[in-house]
Amino acid sequence: MAQECFKKPGDRKGGNQVVERCNGQVDRTEGGGGHGYADFEAKRSRGASGYHKATGAKNKALENLEDCMKSLMITQMRESPMIVVEEGIMTLLQKCLASSSKGGSFVVVEGNLEHYESKKEVDVGWGCGWRNLEMLASYLISEDPEVREVLFGGAGYVPDIPALQQWLEIAWAKGFDVPGGEYFDWKIKGTNKWIGTTEGAALLRSFGVRARIVDFQATGGKREPPSELRSKTGTEEGHSRQQIEDKDKESVNKESEKGSPSDRDGSEASEPRRTAADNGTLDQACIVCGEHKLHDPEFRRDAQDSDMCPHCMKRLQDSGNTAKENLSNAKETQITGRHRHGWDNKTGGDGHEMGQITVKHQQLVEWVWTYFMTENVESRLSKSLHLSQRSPLYFQHRGHSQTVVGIERRKVSTSPDSEEVNLLVLDPSEKSFDIVESLRKDRGWEGLVKRGLQTLKQTEYQLCYCDRGVAKGEELENLKILTSKSYTY
């Protein structure tokens, strides 16, 4: 493993910067300021001798940074997925969607990507952001030849978390997302600090990848106390994370003994639990309340084509879910510390929330649908299935993140004016084996992959996506300043 390439800035007021060689020697240069290590120009004129001195120090520091990058390209380790999916995980998902008997329309990522799960005793409890970055990177390496040539030094594979941490520090040193470097005190290698979409975007941008950030913030809704909610990355009241993990593991083992893939809880409290019945059908609970079984005589007639019971469907209609929001009111803002949802100083990064709200993020799902449908082709498997050429979405909220690979929309029989919406996600907190086997058997995969609109209970969500190609020159320089397109509703 390569040594640290640099340290955080020393005297910020004086503009002094400290850059450490890979062999441990330290160079101190002047300048820098708010533009990062790449900008070492003096803040005021110091004469010819001062100019040449500053220029020489700048060149020396850049040489050290280049040496560190070359060293990392040699020492970085490959991150291998837990299970090799020869047919491709997206191909499996597309087949399951095409054979769906519930109707509706789907749009999913056409290209290939890997699922990276958080590993016990490695990154469980803090590594979801890194895992989603790995998933997005695996797509870029597979589907964009221009990006593959430059990403991670042209390695052609996804590095492990320690290497990614070093690449992020190098991105900061190059001047990409300087506020982010300051937020993390310029140090993330060897730590368990959470990251979010902003850090992922900064790392990718340092290679010229056109990573973009989009923010969604709900200002209304009724807040629920955290004791009534459960998140995979948080803790239940009176239970430690280890107790929750043990309970989930016990549940998985019980399902495995029945000979079917496990359908564990989703990342939100309202995710339904589905179990295999004796007759081979699914004993499915309402996707919202999780209480009313849809096979019960009381609900069968009204909800036979729905994942929601009539009670929850009525609440959905009353909330104005069917009204399409205007997506033209976004504003571009520079990203600062308050936009960073991955690592929270108040919560300590343990995923424990201060409460969630009962708001419907209809504008968010409208944006996701439009995003994937912008560049799509109709699948040969089904007319209702569309394949998108857009990148997956790194989907972040405070406490957890997932990778969105598609979206489902379908009308429901209880009301012709209403529809159900499900994000299709790859969650690093799910086991790769469970996802792949459930997709191969076309049974139980909905509980692992689908996330309904009703599960979006956070006030803020942040997305990162990547446009094709590699930025150079002035465009690359402009990528150093992270901005986001923000929607408030």
φ and ψ of 100, to 5 deg: -60, 135
Domain end among 313, 338, 357: 313
Q: Which domain holds residue 356?
A: 89-220+318-488
Domain end among 313, 343, 363: 313
End-to-end Cα distance, the chain: 47
- The answer as to whether 83 is a domain residue is no
In tens, the pLDDT along 189-209 reads 999 999 999 999 999 999 999
Q: What is the CATH number of the domain that holds 198?
A: 3.90.70.130
Closest CA to 124 of 220, 192, 224: 192
Do 102 and 71 belong together in one domain?
no
Domain end among 26, 43, 75: 75
Lowest pLDDT segment from 14-28, 397-411, 424-438? 14-28
Q: Which whole number is the average pLDDT over 206-223?
A: 87
Do 302 and 278 belong together in one domain?
yes
| Domains: count for the chain | 3
CB-count burial class (<10 Å; 0-12, 13-18, 19+) for 4? middle
Do 267 and 357 belong together in one domain?
no
Do 479 and 355 belong together in one domain?
yes
Q: Which residues face 467 on adjacent strands?
A: 210
In this prediction, residue 71 carries a pLDDT of: 93
Do 397 and 260 belong together in one domain?
no
Do 44 and 126 belong together in one domain?
no
Q: Are 312 and 420 in contact (CB under 8 A)?
A: no
158 three-class SS: coil
Other C-beta atoms closer than 10 Å to the C-beta of 234 total: 18
- The span from the CA of 425 to the CA of 401, in Å, is 10
Do 127 and 265 belong together in one domain?
no
In this prediction, residue 63 carries a pLDDT of: 79
In this prediction, residue 240 carries a pLDDT of: 35
Write down the pTM of the prediction: 0.70
Do 377 and 474 belong together in one domain?
yes
Do 212 and 239 belong together in one domain?
no
Q: Computed over its alpha carbons, how large is the radius of gyration of the chain? A: 24
- The answer as to whether 4 is a domain residue is no
Do 96 and 181 belong together in one domain?
yes
Q: Which whole number is the average pLDDT over 394-421?
A: 86
In this prediction, residue 414 carries a pLDDT of: 64
Lowest pLDDT segment from 398-412, 435-449, 466-480? 398-412
In this prediction, residue 484 carries a pLDDT of: 95
